[in-house]
A and B are shown apart, each in its own frame.
Chain A
Amino acid sequence: QITLKESGPTLVKPTQTLTLTCTFSGFSLSTSGLGVGWIRQPPGKALEWLALIYWNDDKRYSPSLKSRLTITKDTSKNQVVLTMTNMDPVDTATYYCAHSDIVTTIGAHDYWGQGTLVTVSS
């Protein structure tokens, strides 16, 4: 059974750096083909894809946010960490992490965490 759970601060101040952790179970990021991605959703708005890291440490980023994002993995801890610098109120959103399997398909996420709401405010 694959599960994912996001954790991190619920409130950050403008210009601060956000660090979110995705802790997962039911799979290992040492398994060929697997990946974990991050997607966010501002309140009442659409989903926005942010980043993804694969088992082989291949990393992909949204072009519009690439300069602010860093994604890393700790295979031994079954965790993926996303950092986003220079936070702004427009970054207020629910942040989701999600499982991806390149063997099945590319670009789709079949298991999702429950999401964590991050508010950016002074």
Chain B
Amino acid sequence: QSALTQPASVSGSPGQSITISCTGTSSDVGSYNLVSWYQQHPGKAPKLMIYEVSKRPSGVSNRFSGSKPGNTASLTISGLQAEDEADYYCCSYAGSSTFVVFGGGTKLTVL
């Protein structure tokens, strides 16, 4: 059982927007603005898409955005494209002892 809770699956049509939630606790998501999101295509390594809740690494499309009200972080993908179909994982810093926790992952299907 993963420390952070994500929906198992979400879907959307091309051009639409979707949001993936990531629920943690006051020990991780709620305490630090250090939530990151990873995209993983089948058989590939994860790719960092968002860090520190809403920052995008160089080269990541601005169709990807993040937010974090309270203990729940969210990843929003706007203007869905077929290439966005992948698994998405949230991740949070959880203090110096636990350090990092991942979510259980969400499979995004582009209809």
Contact = CB atoms under 8 A, between A and B. Distances in A.
A49 B45 contact: no
Interface string A43-75: 000111100100000001111000000000000
A19 to B, nearest CB: 21
B49 to A, nearest CB: 10
- The binding surface of chain A is classed by DSSP as loop
B105 interface: yes
Given A47-B38, A62-B99, A104 B51 contact: yes
B93 A110 contact: no
Interface in B31-55: 34, 36, 38, 40, 45-48, 51-52, 55
Interface stretch (A10-18, A25-33, A83-91, A111-119): A111-119
B98 A47 contact: no
Q: Chain A interface: which size bin?
A: 20 to 34
B103 A46 contact: yes
Given A110-B48, A112-B47, A114-B45, A105 B101 contact: no
Given A49-B101, A108-B34, 14 more contacts: A39-B102, A46-B2, A46-B102, A46-B105, A48-B102, A49-B91, A49-B100, A52-B99, A63-B97, A96-B46, A105-B36, A107-B100, A108-B51, A110-B57
7 contacts: A62-B99, A63-B97, A96-B45, A105-B34, A109-B46, A109-B48, A110-B57
